[in-house]
Amino acid sequence: MSAAIQPYTLLDDEDCESRILAARKTLGERLVILGHHYQRDEVFRHADFTGDSLKLSRQAASSKADYIVFCGVHFMAEVADILSRPDQVSILPDMSAGCSMADMADLQNVERAWQELSEVLDTEQTITPVTYINSAADLKAFCGKHGGIVCTSTNARHVLEWSFKQREKVLFFPDQHLGRNTGYPMGIALDEMVVWDYDQPLGGLSVAQIQKAKIILWKGFCSVHQMFQPDQIDNFKQKHPETKIISHPESSFEVCQKSDYIGSTEYIINTIANAEKNTRWLVATELNLVNRLHEQFKHEGKNVHFMSPNVCMCSTMFRIDPQHMAWVLENLVDGHVVNQISVPVDVAFQAKLALERMLDVSP
């Protein structure tokens, strides 16, 4: 922890609230605050824009703001830096707010996998690398360099369709579940989607498995969505058989197969918002969002439940708190930028290529 922030850790949330509001008033249009759906309410309420990571970055880039304060995690602030104007500064209130899924795929392991695959296949002619937006900037740059692309949970199918038009196979990282849950409805058989274990030689696969595969899935997952299990659905529906099940595609294949609806956080929000009154929903996604949906729609008689019986929130997202936010904003008022996220120019160039390909093919 930086010594400079230590006095702020002693502030209670109420003190932080008043200081955040005062700093925002001073900074005016020079500041835009972005709040991801998984963010805690004490921070989320201060956001100028709320939503998924890509949507937020694009909104910030089109704003007049000099400073983009991203209440999310590290890769999100990187995307904001890549897509924003050169004169805009991207800031992450707490540098320890990372993403465990994104950390499961690093450039060294991906490059090694690419090299090992090249011993079996002509990778440049055969495989399109696809990275989920929940990944580091240098992995997006890897995709840009090798004719690949980025996807989100919303546009993953469109991205895979584009990818297969380029080459016959896809290397998909870092989330195996999003890849599998997207590929299966496209008619790709489970045995044509193999998991690459980056701790094993040749990913723990045989040459025959690699040659047969349509999608090579990275051995990665979201620690939050990994908590949801099929028996949680079965147990809940025994008590409430009328329940509709809605899951984020980062959940396991087995959970998604038992779900009535599968989609991104925005899709989950919109589906429940547009549902009939007096309906019951069991939701497989992050706890802060589910609790917010419950409060938002309970007046319509909608019962929105968190799927796991255990408390399960995005612990790294939770590190963005009012104390860090007050510290960042008051430094900006004083003319100091702290916790700037700056992607190297060469990395940003290649990463932007992959992001622009995604934007071109998205509906």
Confidence of residue 3 (pLDDT cuts 50, 70, 90): low
Looking at the structure, tell me whether residues 120 and 197 fall in a common domain. yes
Q: Are residues 30 and 135 in the same domain?
A: no
Q: Mean pLDDT throughout 8-37?
A: 93
What average pLDDT score do residues 97-102 get? 81
- Regarding whether 216 and 113 lie in a shared domain, the answer is yes
Same domain, 112 and 157: yes
Percentage of the chain exceeding pLDDT 90 = 80
180 in a domain, yes or no? yes
Domain boundary among 170, 195, 223: 223
Summarize the confidence of residues 22-46 as an average pLDDT: 92
Is it the case that residue 2 has pLDDT exceeding 70?
no
**206 and 285, same domain (yes or no):** no
Last residue of a domain, one of 223, 254, 269: 223
The CA distance from 332 to 27, in Å, is: 8
**d(Cα 224, Cα 101) in Å, to the nearest integer?**
10
Amino acid at 287: L
Is the domain of 114 the same as that of 205? yes
Provide the residue range defining the domain that includes 266.
Answer: 226-306
Whether residue 92 lies inside any domain: the answer is: yes
Same domain, 200 and 258: no
Given a contact cutoff of 8 angstroms between Cβ atoms, the answer to whether 166 and 211 are in contact is no
Q: Is residue 358 part of a domain?
A: no
Q: Give me the CATH number covering residue 26.
A: 3.40.50.10800
The pair of structure tokens assigned to 37 is 């759906």
Instruction: Tell me the C-alpha distance between 190 and 188, whole Å.
Output: 7
Q: Does residue 351 form part of some domain?
A: no
Residues 6+ apart with CB under 8 A from 135: 75, 102, 105, 150, 173, 174
User: Is the residue at 348 inside a domain?
Assistant: no
Domain CATH code at residue 210: 3.40.50
Tokens of 334: 């004083």
* CA gap 14, 18 in Å, rounded: 7
Q: E strands of 162-219, at which residues?
A: 169-173, 193-196, 215-218
Alpha-carbon distance of 5 to 187, in angstroms, equals 52
Taking the CA atoms of the chain, what radius of gyration do you get in angstroms?
21
Q: Tell me: the pLDDT tens digits for 174-209?
A: 999 999 999 999 999 999 999 999 999 999 999 999
Band (139; pLDDT cuts 50, 70, 90): very high
Beta carbons within 10 angstroms of residue 253's beta carbon: 16
What local confidence, expressed as pLDDT, does residue 314 receive? 57
Q: 57 and 117: one domain?
A: no
Domain count, the chain: 3
pLDDT of residue 346: 97
Q: What is the mean pLDDT of the chain?
A: 93
**What pLDDT is stored for residue 353 in this prediction?**
97
Do 192 and 252 belong to one domain?
no
- The beta strand positions in 314-358, using DSSP E, are none
Q: Are residues 127 and 204 in the same domain?
A: yes
Is there a single domain that holds both residue 210 and residue 157?
A: yes
Residue 335, by phi and psi: left (phi above 0), alpha (psi -120 to 50) or beta? left
